[in-house]
Structure 1
Amino acid sequence: MDSRPLFQALHVVAEDNVAFFRQSASETGRRFVAAFTAIGEHARRLEPILRHFASVYHVFDLDEATPANGYRSLAQTTRCCLAHVLHKSRYVAANRRSIFFRTGHNAAELEAYCAALSQLRALLYLAQRLLTHNRPGCLFHHEERGLTELVLREYGTLHKGCFYGRCLGFQFAPSIRPFLQTIAISLVSFGENYRRHDSGLSMAAGSLFTSGKFAIDPELRGAEFERITQNLDVHFWKSFWNLTETELLASVASMASTPVRVIRALTVPPAPFELPLAADPSLSITISPPVAHTGPGPVHMRLISHELREGQDSEALSALAPAEGPLGLELWRKAAPAPPSPLLLVHFHGGGFVAQTSKSHEPYLRGWAQELGAPVLSVDYALAPEAPFPRALEECFYAYCWALRHCRLLGSTAQRVCLAGDSAGGNLCLTVTMRAAAFGIQLPDGIMAAYPVTLVRAAASPSRLLTLLDPLLPLSVLCKCLSAYAGTEPAEGEPPGLEKLGPVNMVRRDTALLLQELRQSASAWLGALLDSPGRSNGAGAEAMRTSVSEAALDDDSAVKSRGSRKSQTCQDLSCGVSAPLAHAPAPPPQGSPPSFFLSGGQLEEEAPGDEGLQYPDGFEPLRSDQPSASITLEASPVVKNPFMSPLLAPDSMLRGLPPVHIVACALDPMLDDSVMFARRLRELGRPVTLRIVQDLPHGFLSLSQLCRETRQAAALCTRVIREILLPPEPTPPTAPPSPHKHRKLERTPHSGAA
C-alpha cells in the first residue's frame, strides 16, 4: 500500500493548522500548535519506517494468497491511526473559525492521537529490532531471554492509557467501537469495586453507580484501565469475564440466540472405558479418566441439538443430566425423535484457560447446531489456576473419547467428526488431536481453530506487540492467563508460601504422569500395529515411537536442552524437543532489504550484539506513571511441552494431524501464532488453510450477533466446519467429446428440419 498520499495530505493540513493557531495567544491555541507540530514530526519519522516495512513484510506471509503477519498488522494499525489524525486535522481546519467549534474537546482529541502515534512509533522500533534479530521468515524471537526480556521490560514501563481513552479501538471496525467502549467502562467500574471474595453480581451492581464518571472522562478511563491491567491478578479477570455466566446476561443472550430443541448439561463420571484402535478395530485401548492435580473427577459437558434425535431422550443420557428431571423428557417425547445424524461437532470454549464455560459460548453454538444439522457437544473443562496443565487437556481428551464411544446417546453415528474451538479452545483442539494420534484412536476428520494460541509463553513477536493497545488482550493479562495455565499463578485461597513451590511441582508431577500414560498407550498401539499380520513397513511405527519419545522428555533433560543452541530454528523456540528442525521459510530473495533502524529518514544498520534499547534521533516514548507491570519470563520446562504449545511439537507429531483450518484476525495479538503454525504444517506437507478476518478483535465469535462484521466472521467459521463435516463430492473428470460426435450433433437438427 502506497502511503505517500496520506503523509502528503497530513503534512499540508498540519502546517496549515500550525500557521493558523500560532496567531492565537490562548492556552488552547498553544496546545493546538504543540499537537500539530508533534504530529508533523511523528509523520516525518514514520514515513520511511512504514515504507521499509512495506518492502519486507511479504517475506513473512504464509503465501501470496494470505497476506497476513504481525509486521503487516503493525503497519496497518499505524496507517489507521494516521488516517484518524488526518480526518481530525481536516475537521479542525474546516471548523476552527466556527462559534460552535469546541476548542478544548478537539485539542484533547488531537493530543490523545498524538500520544498514540508516539507509542506506535516505539512499537515499530521494537518491531525493527525483531526484524533484525529473528531468523529469516521467523516471527517469534528464538531465544528465551535477550530481546524478549527487553520487550517485556519496555511494555511494563510504556504509557498505555492513551489507547484506552479517546483512541479506544480506533484500529477496529467502526461498528464495534461502541461495544469496546462499553466493555472498557464496565471493566474500570468493576475494577474500582473489585474485592476478591465478593460475588460477581454484587460487584457488577456496585459498578453501575460508578460507571458514569468513566463514560464522560476518557482520560480518567484510560488511566484506570492502565492501572487495572498493570496491577490486578488473574482472579480479577476470572471474575470479570465470568460475568457472562450470570443468569441475567445468559438469559438476555439466550433470547437473542437461535432456538433449539435440546440443551442438556451432562456430568460424565470418571470411569475407564475401551476404544478400538484406528489401525485395527479388533484391538482396543483403555481410556482412563482425568487424574491431574485433584485425582479422578467427573467431566462436565453441554449437549446442544437443533432437533431431538434418537438417543438424546434415552434413560442412559438422562442419568447423566439429573437436573433436568422428568419434565424435560415429557416435553421432548411429544414429537418423534429424528434419526441419528452422521455428523458430530465437539467444541472447546475459549477464555484464556482461566474463565468462562460452554454457557457463555452457547449463542453461536446454537447457530452451529441449526445450520450444520449436527449435535454439538461443548466441554466444560477445569480452569486454571486452580487446575493448571494438563488437567484441561486430560478432560477434553476424555470427553472426545467418550463422545466417540457414546455417540448414539448424543444423537449421532460419528461418521464425520469435527473439533472446533476458539482461542484457548483452539489450542486444546490441536493438543487433543495430537494425543489421540499418540493413542492410535480415531482422529477427527478436521479441526477448526479460531484465533488459537499455539505458543503458551511470553514470547516476542510483532503481532504480540499489539497487546500494548488491544483493549481485550493486554500483554500483562495475556501473560497472567498463560502463567496460570502453566501452573505458576497461585490458585484461589492458596497460602502465599505455596505460590512459588506448589504449582510447579504439581505440574511436573502431573506432566510426568501424562507422558507416562502416553508412552504406555503408544507402546500398546505400536505393539498392536507391529503384531498385525500383513504389516511389513515399520516406518510409520518408528516415526510415532520417535515422536512419543521426544514428547516425553523429562524436566531435567528439558532444562539441559536449553544450553544447546547450535541447530535451532523457528520450531524449537527454546523447546525441550531435539528433533531435527527445518521449518524456517527460505531466506528473502536476493535484493530484499535487510533489517535496519531508521534515523532521520536514513537507514542505519543495527549492531547485532547490541542488547540495550536506544531509540534513534533522541526519541523517547511516553512512560507510564503506574508501577511497572510484573511480567516475568517463565523458566519452568512445562511451558515447552508440545502438548501445551503445539508450535513446539516435533515434526513427527504434527505429521499425524488431520486437516487443520485456522481462522485468525489481522489485528489480533495472537496472529503470529496462527501464521507460524500454519507455515509449519504447510512445510510438512499437511493439509492446512489460514483465513484472515479484517478489522475485528480477538474473540469475535462471542460477539457474533453484535454487528454485520462479526456475523460475517462467524459465518466464515460455520462454512469451514461445514466443509469438514460435509466435504464436497469430488467431480469425476469428463473427457471431451470426440470431433465425430460433435459433427453428428451439429447435423442432426439440420437433417430433421429437412
Structure 2
Amino acid sequence: MNLLKVVSGENGQGASLYKKNPLGARLSVQRCAVFALLEQLADDNEQFFAQRANSSAYTKRLQKAYGEILAYTPAVRDIVQKMQDIAPKYDFDEQTPGNGFRSLVCVCDIVVLHLISISRDCIENCQTMMFRTSYYCKEVESYCAVLRFLLLALQQVINTAEKLPGSSLFPPLSDDYSKYQDLLKRIQALDSSCFYGRPLGFQFSASVGKIFRFIGVVLATYSLSWEKGHGPIGSLINSGRFILSPEQRASRILKVTREADIDFCKGFWNLSELGNDVPKLFCPNMAVNEAREINWVGPITVASNQGGTVRIPEPSAHTGVRPVRIRILSYTHRELLSPPGAPNQQPLSPYLLFHCHGGGYVATSSKSHETYLRTWAKLLNCPVVSVDYSLAPENPFPRPTEEVLYAYAYVINNAALMGWTGEKICMVGDSAGGNLIMSVNLRLIELDVKRKPDGLVLLYTPFLFQYLPSPSRLLSFMDPLLHMGVVLRCVEAYTRGSNAEKQGDDSNSVPSASGNGHKSLQEYVEQVQRAQKSDSVDFESSSSIVSLVNLIPDGSLPENAPPRSPPAKAAKGEDESDMKAASSEEEDDLYDDCASLSAVQVKSDPLCIHLSSNMYDRNLVHYLRTHPLTKDSLVVLGPNGRPENGNEKAGESSLNVEGEEKKPSMSRPSRLSTLLCAPLRSGTTSMPCSPVEGESGSSKMVASQSTHNIAGSTNVPPVHKRSLSQSLVDTAALAAAHAFDNISDWLEYSSASAQSDKPKLDRAASLAPQLAAEMQRAEGEDGPTSYLETLMQREVPRDALISPMYASSECLRQLAPMWFIACHMDPLLDDTISFARKVRACGGRVMSVDLLDSLPHGFLNFTLVSPECREGAKLSLLRIKQALGISDSTSDTS
C-alpha cells in the first residue's frame, strides 16, 4: 500500500513530518507500451478464434469480445492521455498526486493489465486439449464490459471537466446545480452491472476483494427476502446461483441498489453489526467498555472566548428530549472512571479521543466500530469516548449534530468522569462521522466556545452533500459499498427525514419495509439460523464470519494455502511489533488471485504505470519483462526511486523521443515469437485449474519487502520436473474446473445491455469526446425518469453544517489543526481534496493529507481481515498521536 503525505501548516510552519519506512523496490512500465501489448494480444486472439474449426458458441463470443477490445483500446488510451494531461492542476500540491482524474486513470490501468493477464493465458493454453473456453470467455467478456463502461463514461467526464472553472473538481457552489445533473443521469443509464460480477472489487487489494465478493453474495441473497415466496430457506437455497453465477449476482445487486428503499439501505450498512461479538475474541480486552447515557437535564454551560458563558441546548429536534448515548473504552482502570474497587487504577490520562462513527447517518453504532477503537484505546493508552448519535431517517439533521455537540460539552465539563485531566482532546470521525465532527466544530466557532479540540482527524469524509458530479464520484458506480443509489437515499434520509421517500412519486417508489414484510439484515440472518441450524455457515460464531471472508469465491479453502494466522495477533499483541509481525505473516499467506493487479499506484508520472512494491502478479511481470513490446520499458525502481540494474534508459528502444509508440508494423513480433517470449513456468504441463471468478490462469500473488525479491522475481523461473502424482492432481483439478464451468453454464442468461450500448460505443470510437458526449446527453434527456433521477432532482439545503464546503473563510481559518486521510479509490476522494485546498487557501491549518492506494471507503471496518486495511488503521493511529502530541514514550506512561 502506498502512503502519500503532504505537510503544510499555517504560514508553512509547525508541520509535523512523517516518513514511512522504505518499502523496497517497485516496478514501473511505460503505459503506451502496455496498451500496445493489449492491442497485439487482442488481435492475435481474435485471429486465432476466428480461424478455429468447429467453433463453439463460446469461441465465437471470444472472437467478438477480442474484436471489441481491439477496436476500443485506442480510444481508451486517448482518453487516459487527456486525463493525465489535466490531472496535475487538480492535485492538492505537487507532492500529493491524487484526485478523481488520477483515480480513473488508475482504474483504466488495472483493467488493461487484467486483460493482458487473461489474454496471455489464452495465448498459452488455447491449443491444449482441455482449454477452458467458457471460463476464459466469461472472464474476457466481463472485463471487456468494464472497458466499455469506462469508455462511455469517461467521455462524459472529459466533456464536463472542460466546462468547469479553473482547477475546481466541482461546479461552482453558487451556481444552478440542475444543469450539472445530466452527467450523473447519462452515466446512470449505462449498464454498470459489469462491476458486480467477476470483476467485483477488482480496483482494491486482494484481501479487500475477497471481502467484497462475500458481501456481494450476502447482499444478493438477502435481497431475495423482499420477494413473495422467498422465505429464509428458499433464499439460502437460491443463493447458490449467486456463488456459481457472478453474472446473476451482478444483476441482482444492481437491481437492489437502484430500487431498494431506505430500510434496505439501513440493513445493508448494518452488515457490520453481525460481527459485534468479534472484538471480544480478536481485539484487546478493555478494562472499561461501557455504554452510558448523559442524563443531564437542560442546557450545559461552557466558557466563551469573550470571558462569558455559552449555553449548549439539550437535543430536542424531531423526536423530543431524551438522553444522549455514549460509549467509553479504556484499556486500564482509571480513577473516577472505573468503579471504586477496581484493581490497578491508573491516574487520569492527559489525553482523550472523541470519536464519531460512520454509517451514512442511517446505520451502525459505536459497538460495530470496536474492531479498531479497542486497538486505539490500548495503543494510545487513553480513554476513548464514542457518541452513539440518533440515526436517520427518524432523526435527520440537525439532531445528530445537536447530540454530538451536547456530548462534547458534557465531556469538557466532566473530564474527570471520563478518566481525563482535561488537557488534550482529539476529535476523529470516519465517513459520516467525519462530517459530524466538522459540523460540530463549525458550530463551536459560531457559538464562540473557548474550549475547542486540539486536533481533528478526518477519514474519508463527505464535505459536500449535493448531487454534483466530480471525477471521483464516478467511482460510486463501481463501488460495492458506496453505490450511487445507496448514497442518494442516505442523503435523502439525513436531509429530509423519515417522510423523505413518501414525498416522491408514488409510481416510482418501492414498497417500504412494512409494506412488503422484509426484515432487517440481522433479523433475516437469525431466521436463517433457526431454519438451517445444521448449515456449515454459522453466523453466530464470530470466527466463522472471519473464516468465511477468507474463503476463495467458490466457497472452498485453497488446497495449497497454508493455515492463515488469526487476526487476533494484530490486536492481542503486547505492542506494535506484534501487530507488524501478524501483518507480515498474513501478507505472506496471500494466495493466487488476479486482484493482485489492483496494486497499481497513483503517481505523478504521466507516462508510466507503477506497480506496488509489496504485491504484484509474478507471471505478468515475467511476461512484461520478456515481451519485445515491454521488456525495455519495464524498470525496477529502488527504495530511492531510481532505476536499478542499468535500466536508466529503459524504453528507448520501443519509444521515440516524444514518447509516442512506434508503429506496430515496424516492431511487431509474430505470434510464434510471442509464444516463445512467454516465461516458462514451474510445470509447463499444468493448466489454470481454479474455478475462481476474477482469477486469470495461474497468476501468483507474492509479498515482497526487499529489492532482492522483486528484482530477482523478474528473471525467468526455473523449470521443475513434475511427478506422476502431481500430474494426476492437476488433471483432477482441471476436470473439477470444467465441471464447475458446466454448472455455471446452466445458470447463464443473456444480457441485452451490451447491444443497447453498441451505438454509443461506435460513436465513442469514431467521434471526438465533445461530440460523443453531446449525443449521449441528447439521448439521456429522452429516456424515462427513474426513481434515482427523482432523488437527484430534489433540493439539498446549502447549509455549512450539512456540507462544510459552504463554510466561510473566516470559520475555516479558526478550525483546529486538521489531518486528512482518504483513499484513491473512494468516490469521496474529491471531497477531501477540494475541502483541504479550500482550508489551506483561506489560511487554515492543514497538517497533512494522506492518500492510500487500493483501499476502499470504510477500510477501518476491515482491519481484522485485511492486512492492507490494518496498515491504513496504523497510519490513522499515527495521525491521532500527532494531533494529541503523543510520542511513543509518553503513550507508555500516560
TM-score bucket (shorter structure):
0.7 to 0.9
Task: State the match for 2:317 in structure 1.
Answer: 292
Give me the whole-angstrom Cα distance separating, in 2, the residues matched to 1:600 and 1:493.
40
Task: State the match for 1:104 in structure 2.
Answer: 134
Q: Which of 473, 476, 479 matches 1:467?
A: 476
Task: State the match for 1:456 in structure 2.
Answer: 465
**Map of 1:324-723 to 2, 5 A cutoff?**
329=339, 333-441=341-449, 442-487=451-496, 490=499, 604=768, 606=770, 613-615=774-776, 629-633=788-792, 635-636=794-795, 639-688=797-846, 689-723=848-882
For residue 614 of structure 1, what is the amino acid of its counterpart? M
Shift of 1:727: 5.4
Greater mean alpha carbon deviation, residues 262-271 or residues 485-494: 485-494
For residue 364 of structure 2, what is the amino acid of its counterpart? Q
Q: Kindly tell me: are residues 650 and 440 of structure 1, through their superposed partners in 2, closer, same or farther at Cα, counting changes over 3 Å?
A: same
Shift of 1:210: 3.3
Larger relative contact order, structure 1 or 2 (CA cutoff 8 Å, min sep 6): 2
Task: State the match for 1:53 in structure 2.
Answer: 83
Q: 1:384–1:487: 8 Å Cα contact kept in structure 2?
A: no
Greater mean alpha carbon deviation, residues 657-666 or residues 262-271: 262-271
Give me the whole-angstrom Cα distance separating, in 1, the residues matched to 2:74 and 2:505.
51
Counterpart secondary structure, 1:640: coil
Shift of 1:26: 2.7
Q: Which of 224, 228, 242 matches 1:214?
A: 242
Q: 2:492–2:791: 8 Å Cα contact kept in structure 1?
A: no
Task: State the match for 1:241 in structure 2.
Answer: 269
Give me the whole-angstrom Cα distance separating, in 2, the residues matched to 1:218 and 1:301.
41
Q: Which of 242, 252, 259 matches 1:224?
A: 252
Shift of 1:714: 0.5
Greater mean alpha carbon deviation, residues 434-443 or residues 486-495: 486-495
**Map of 1:21-420 to 2, 5 A cutoff?**
21-24=49-52, 25-142=55-172, 143-194=175-226, 207-246=235-274, 249-279=275-305, 283-313=308-338, 329=339, 333-420=341-428
1:149-202, Cα deviation, whole Å (9 max, x unpaired): 212322332111111001111111122111110000000111111489x9xxx9
Q: Report how many residues are paired.
A: 601
Q: 1:156–1:631: 8 Å Cα contact kept in structure 2?
A: no
Give me the whole-angstrom Cα distance separating, in 1, the residues matched to 2:297 and 2:251.
51
Give me the whole-angstrom Cα distance separating, in 1, the residues matched to 2:492 and 2:249.
27
1:128-157, Cα deviation, whole Å (9 max, x unpaired): 022111111110123443543212322332
Counterpart secondary structure, 1:663: strand
Give me the whole-angstrom Cα distance separating, in 2, the residues matched to 1:627 and 1:651.
38
Give me the whole-angstrom Cα distance separating, in 2, the residues matched to 1:659 and 1:627.
43
Q: 2:813–2:845: 8 Å Cα contact kept in structure 1?
A: no
Q: 2:212–2:480: 8 Å Cα contact kept in structure 1?
A: yes
Q: Kindly tell me: are residues 252 and 206 of structure 1, through their superposed partners in 2, closer, same or farther at Cα, counting changes over 3 Å?
A: farther
Shift of 1:9: 0.7
Q: 1:418–1:724: 8 Å Cα contact kept in structure 2?
A: yes
Counterpart secondary structure, 2:479: coil
Shift of 1:600: 7.8
Greater mean alpha carbon deviation, residues 34-43 or residues 210-219: 210-219
Q: 2:855–2:869: 8 Å Cα contact kept in structure 1?
A: yes
Q: Kindly tell me: are residues 371 and 38 of structure 1, through their superposed partners in 2, closer, same or farther at Cα, counting changes over 3 Å?
A: same
Q: 2:823–2:854: 8 Å Cα contact kept in structure 1?
A: yes
Counterpart secondary structure, 2:188: helix
Shift of 1:238: 0.7
Greater mean alpha carbon deviation, residues 150-159 or residues 384-393: 150-159
What's the % identity of the aligned pairs?
33
1:519-557, Cα deviation, whole Å (9 max, x unpaired): xxxxxxxxxxxxxxxxxxxxxxxxxxxxxxxxxxxxxxx
Give me the whole-angstrom Cα distance separating, in 1, the residues matched to 2:160 and 2:134.
39
Q: Kindly tell me: are residues 361 and 291 of structure 1, through their superposed partners in 2, closer, same or farther at Cα, counting changes over 3 Å?
A: same
Counterpart secondary structure, 1:426: helix
Q: Kindly tell me: are residues 39 and 601 of structure 1, through their superposed partners in 2, closer, same or farther at Cα, counting changes over 3 Å?
A: closer
Shift of 1:121: 0.9
- Per the normalisation by structure 2, the TM-score is 0.64
Give me the whole-angstrom Cα distance separating, in 2, the residues matched to 1:479 and 1:182.
24
- Per the normalisation by structure 1, the TM-score is 0.75
Q: Kindly tell me: are residues 258 and 631 of structure 1, through their superposed partners in 2, closer, same or farther at Cα, counting changes over 3 Å?
A: farther
Shift of 1:257: 1.4
Give me the whole-angstrom Cα distance separating, in 2, the residues matched to 1:91 and 1:496.
51
Unaligned runs of 5+ in 2: 1-28, 510-760, 889-894
Q: Kindly tell me: are residues 16 and 226 of structure 1, through their superposed partners in 2, closer, same or farther at Cα, counting changes over 3 Å?
A: same
Give me the whole-angstrom Cα distance separating, in 2, the residues matched to 1:220 and 1:700.
27
Counterpart secondary structure, 1:68: coil
Give me the whole-angstrom Cα distance separating, in 2, the residues matched to 1:259 and 1:181.
30
Give me the whole-angstrom Cα distance separating, in 2, the residues matched to 1:221 and 1:701.
26
Counterpart secondary structure, 2:367: coil
User: What's the Cα RMSD here?
Assistant: 3.1
Shift of 1:659: 0.6
